[in-house]
Structure 1
Amino acid sequence: MQKVQHETGKILNIGVVNRFNSGVNLIKQIIDDGELGELYHVYVSFRAHRSIPGLGGAFTTKAIAGGGALIDWGVHFLDIVMYCTGDPKPKTVSGQAYCKLGRDMRNYAYVDMWAGPPDYNGTYDVDDFVTAMIRTEGPSITLNGAWAQNIGESEMYIDFLGDRGGIRLQYGSDFKLYSAKNGVLLETKPKFKSVNMFQNEIDSFLRSVRTGEKLPSHIDSAILTSQIIQGIYDSSDQGREISFV
Structure 2
Amino acid sequence: MTINCNENLIDLSTPKIMGILNVTPDSFFDGGKFKNIDDALLQTDKMLQDGATFIDVGAYSSKPGANAVSEEEELARILPIVTQIQSSFPNCILSIDTFRSSVAKACVDAGAAIINDISGGNLDPKMFTTVAALKVPYILMHMRGTPQNMQQNTTYKNLIKDIIFYFSEQVYKAKEAGINDIIIDPGFGFAKTLEQNYELLNKLDLLQNLDAPILAGLSRKSMIYKTLKTDANNALNGTTALNMVCLNHGAAILRVHDVKEAMECVQLFNALKKN
Higher helix share: 2
Structure 2 length-normalised TM: 0.23
Higher strand share: 1
Structure 1 length-normalised TM: 0.25
Tell me which of the two structures has the higher relative contact order, counting C-alpha pairs closer than 8 angstroms and 6 or more residues apart: 1
